[in-house]
Structure 1
Amino acid sequence: MKRKSFICTIISIFVMISLIILLSLFVIGEPIDGKQLYCTTSLNGQTLKLRVEPVESGVALRGWKFRKDNNILYISARKVLVSPLFHEGTYETSIDLEPIESVMVGGQTIWSYAD
């Protein structure tokens, strides 16, 4: 009986570790870095059209967050492996530039009023 209990414990530990690894890869991911992205911008008056694509294939971008601080717009997201949960690799948005002087994606400046 002790041997059966030991085997069940080992299997349970293996399943838990596997689930944690899968969650990390497919759901939680890691923060994007500007060097891992290809950004395309086009300016139309006071509107900046932004398209973001990962450089790597098989990567989805999720959890987009926008934060404005001192007229700088910071955009962040997380990078995960493509799955049925997250399958979009590209992201497109339009940004009103009225109070914004600079736009940063993943820590990299992609647009600045000075440009």
Structure 2
Amino acid sequence: MSTGYKKVRLTHNAFVYNKHGKVVKSGLRIKVLKRGKLLKALKNAKIVKINGKRYYQIGKNQFVKVANFEITTHVVHLRARIKGNKKTRAYDRSGKFNKHYVRPSFTYTFNEKAKINGKTYYKIAGTNN
């Protein structure tokens, strides 16, 4: 299993905000990051909440909404058995519980690895879990 850098890609043009949640302007121009840009710098980026919304900090007093990004995961080929005797929660791509569980003492095949909010997750092949 190889591990590399997590990359995030902008899914559409994104405004840059300050620590108060206001759009950053330079004169009359609004600061925008262009769609499709890959940002390796966000590998260890801090996610902060401003006015109840989640942002990546991309620089000093510069933030971009997390919803504007797509995480590029690593392909893995792994089979593993879930330990324990209780069912385990499953999560979606954003790291939120999706009301599904994985069965204990059952072998699953995993095909992706991603780090979301500092935690490592493995995607169960053929599902969105």
TM range (shorter): under 0.3
The structure in which a higher percent of residues are helix is: 1
Normalised by the length of structure 1, the TM-score is 0.26
Normalised by the length of structure 2, the TM-score is 0.25
